Structure 1
Amino acid sequence: MSPVVLHVSQPVTAGVAVVVTQLVADQVERGWDVHVASPEGWLAERAAALGAVVHPWAAGRSPGPGVLGETRRLAAVVDAVAPDVVHLHSSKAGLTGRLAVRGRIPTVFQPHMWSFQASSGPVGAASLAWERAGARWTHRLLCVGADELAAGRAAGVTGEAVVVPNGVDTAVLRPADRAAARRAHGLPTAPTVVCVGRLAEQKGQDLLLAAWPAVLDAVPDARLVLVGEGPMQARWRAAHPDSPSVRWAGPTDDPGSWFAAADVVALPSRSEGMALVPLEAMSCARSVVAFDVGGVRESLGEGTGAVVARGDVDALAAALVSRLADPTSADLEGVRGRDRAVRGFDRRRVAAQVADVVAALAVPAAAGGR
């Protein structure tokens, strides 16, 4: 009997949503009865197109007074679906989902980065306290990297856990001609750094912009392309308007074409679980320069780019300059990165590992163990 799986996610765009759709696609192909509860948006539309049953669930991205109503609405979805396994994605779904289910149904919680790592003060303390308490309603903690699991354990989050990395579609994200990609995006033939990501404090594009003058001092014709949108867009763009050296490209549904245009891909994040951008860039055979945040070293390994101390804008600039000044070496890093992505992070291999975790929980539930 095919398992009935309910994925619950808020957010509905960017990396978390991409991971959810990868898992939905794999599980639908397996013939499972796959459901998705999420607010309206890209995730819901994509999941429906893949063959999942979508249940609209009104929920904000951050915790607040609306949590009680969100929990009640989600509990109604759970009752209607009667899943064998509930798979909760990110902190908001992890909060409301575990309050709604309370361990009555096998529950997988996938943090996609711990909530307490992204907050400080009273909010951070409350997030930490909740994650410790919520562990009792978590049948399997699914971490995207050893760094994420270690951070949870250090914070006192207990329970059975498994590590399965994020994956990317290496059949779609492939090496492509750099010159053609630049022509398609109207970019000049010049040393180019591309940064793809939500324009938010966590993603750190302001740190990359702070490093950029030092890059220009060493490589005067360098170009920086910032791809994405988000809450910090207006402020950062006002401080660093479009110029010959900086371009704000807006959101994209085709990140691979932007990676193809790059000499180097930058990840200036302040925190991550395991970011998709380095994996996607490697799959496109591009060198990556990143701050040393969660999952980065696990992603890059050796010889595919550079990992510099978190927040060290001088080191970030120096690593970018060395690759822009020596594109042959940067391209060799990209070749090694492509091989690493195919061998270790292909979405099909990763989705199969997640399916094994879910199926193991679903068997006793479907047999009446619930």
Structure 2
Amino acid sequence: MDQKNLRVLQILRAPVGGLFRHVADLTRALSANGHNVGIVVDSLANDAQTEQLLTALEADAALGIHRFPMPRLFGRGDLSTPFAVSALARRLDVDIIHGHGAKGGFYARLAAYGRNTAKVFYTPHGGVLHFPADKASGKLFHRIERVLMAKTSAIIFESAYAQKTYTSLIGAPTCPSTVIHNGLRPGEFEPVPPLPDAADFVFVGELRNLKGIFPLVEALAQVNRPDGSPANLVMAGDGPDRKDLEQLIGQLGLGDRVKLVGSRPARDVFAMGRNAVVPSLAESLPYVVMEAAAAQLPVISTRVGGIAEIFGPTADQLIAPGDADALASAMTEMLANPDSARRSMQARLAHIEAGFSVARMAGAVEALYRNA
């Protein structure tokens, strides 16, 4: 493919979370480089929030934002939407179709069975990797993955962890594959100084068990500052396990030590704490770890998913997931030795600045498109 401006169709199901953030960052970066980008999303689950997010992308989506039914599992939309996407790709005369997540990748590669000459790329973003191989749904999705590899120009993994997991569950890709880490925008590398009344620790994430919220408050109950006073914590976010979390906080007598502030922008919340804690039980490549480190907060996290890739030279500091005692020890150590925590933060920051920027991510994806 020559150096002409590309026409790219990005396909995803729900415009939420880290997957959508990745697509939005990629769309804006490609548009800034002169390429024409279109977006395909689900028409079944849109609400005021998703519409607001999509409206903010319209200026960078020169090929439009298109909506088709994309059921979360299997449904009637799976019989019609692949044909609609294929027809749209032909009408828009796109060079590249890029599917994101299980459903986006499914539709993107089925579109290649039509009369399309576009090259087809796929980024799992977890997606199909979340279906266990010993369950009927997992067996079905994994079988589909193996069949669709024949129609895939390349698979782009957002972490080496995702690539390894894909190979373990589905098999080594028979098409080209590569790892391109997600990245942060330049403004996200600006430091966020703590407020005068900042808590010792801050958590940003969905309030559900998978994010390690219960071991976190259990750990906090054991943590004191060097002067012997009890440490405190700000938790931002909402989710299905909020009531259970509030109940545990009450049972542990932590009502005056844990402050729940609801869903707010991450950088606003980072100012409410001096150190960040990401105690997840499972992850892929969480943005919040990158964001907190880029904001120049010391970070405690668990050895799950691709977090070790973000921690880089400080990966040996990661702790086991679900271990409240280990988490408490790490939190106590961070308060007792702030200079050491800051040195680790600076090493982590340098690693993230070098390898986790939007410019680097988008440049690598664009080069892959052209090399196809």
Q: TM-score, normalised by structure 2?
A: 0.84
1:217, CA displacement in angstroms? Answer: 10
In 2 relative to 1, CA 3–269 (structure 1 residues): closer, same or farther, beyond 3 Å?
same
1:97 lines up with 2:108 in the alignment: yes
Return the alpha-carbon distance in structure 1 between the equivalents of residues 112 and 218 of structure 2. 45
Given that 1:225 and 1:247 are in contact with CA atoms closer than 8 Å, whether structure 2 keeps it comes out as yes
Return the alpha-carbon distance in structure 1 between the equivalents of residues 325 and 222 of structure 2. 8
- Name the SS of the counterpart of 1:303 in structure 2: helix
1:287 alignment counterpart = 298
Q: 1:1-370 maps to which residues of 2 (within 5 A)?
A: 1-39=4-42, 40=46, 41=50, 42-59=52-69, 62-66=72-76, 67-102=78-113, 104=116, 105-117=118-130, 119=132, 121-155=135-169, 156-158=171-173, 159-179=175-195, 188-191=197-200, 193-215=201-223, 221-237=230-246, 239-240=248-249, 243-252=255-264, 254-303=265-314, 306-361=317-372
1:249, CA displacement in angstroms? Answer: 2.2
The range that moved more, 298-307 or 131-140, is 298-307
Return the alpha-carbon distance in structure 2 between the equivalents of residues 95 and 231 of structure 1. 29
CA RMSD of aligned residues (A): 2.8
Return the alpha-carbon distance in structure 1 between the equivalents of residues 151 and 249 of structure 2. 46
Letter in 1 for 2:125: H
- 1:267-286, Cα deviation, whole Å (9 max, x unpaired): 22232221111111111111
1:33, CA displacement in angstroms? Answer: 0.9
1:60, CA displacement in angstroms? Answer: 5.2
Given that 2:234 and 2:259 are in contact with CA atoms closer than 8 Å, whether structure 1 keeps it comes out as yes
In 2 relative to 1, CA 123–289 (structure 1 residues): closer, same or farther, beyond 3 Å?
farther
- Name the SS of the counterpart of 1:195 in structure 2: strand
Count matched residues: 352
In 2 relative to 1, CA 64–320 (structure 1 residues): closer, same or farther, beyond 3 Å?
farther
* % identical aligned pairs: 24
Given that 2:7 and 2:35 are in contact with CA atoms closer than 8 Å, whether structure 1 keeps it comes out as yes
1:367 alignment counterpart = none
In 2 relative to 1, CA 244–102 (structure 1 residues): closer, same or farther, beyond 3 Å?
farther
1:73, CA displacement in angstroms? Answer: 4.4
- Name the SS of the counterpart of 1:178 in structure 2: coil
- 1:309-339, Cα deviation, whole Å (9 max, x unpaired): 2333322222122113333322232222222
In 2 relative to 1, CA 216–73 (structure 1 residues): closer, same or farther, beyond 3 Å?
farther
Return the alpha-carbon distance in structure 2 between the equivalents of residues 92 and 57 of structure 1. 14
1:298, CA displacement in angstroms? Answer: 0.9
In 2 relative to 1, CA 91–314 (structure 1 residues): closer, same or farther, beyond 3 Å?
farther
Return the alpha-carbon distance in structure 1 between the equivalents of residues 233 and 141 of structure 2. 36
Structure 2 unaligned residues grouped into runs of 5+: none
In 2 relative to 1, CA 43–37 (structure 1 residues): closer, same or farther, beyond 3 Å?
farther
In 2 relative to 1, CA 320–62 (structure 1 residues): closer, same or farther, beyond 3 Å?
farther
Structure 1 unaligned residues grouped into runs of 5+: 181-187, 362-370
Letter in 2 for 1:19: H
1:112, CA displacement in angstroms? Answer: 1.5
Q: TM-score, normalised by structure 1?
A: 0.84
1:364 alignment counterpart = none
1:51, CA displacement in angstroms? Answer: 4.5
Return the alpha-carbon distance in structure 1 between the equivalents of residues 274 and 162 of structure 2. 29
Given that 1:287 and 1:331 are in contact with CA atoms closer than 8 Å, whether structure 2 keeps it comes out as yes
In 2 relative to 1, CA 9–287 (structure 1 residues): closer, same or farther, beyond 3 Å?
same
Letter in 1 for 2:72: S
1:169, CA displacement in angstroms? Answer: 1.5
Return the alpha-carbon distance in structure 2 between the equivalents of residues 109 and 256 of structure 1. 30
Return the alpha-carbon distance in structure 2 between the equivalents of residues 221 and 93 of structure 1. 47
- Name the SS of the counterpart of 2:39 in structure 1: strand
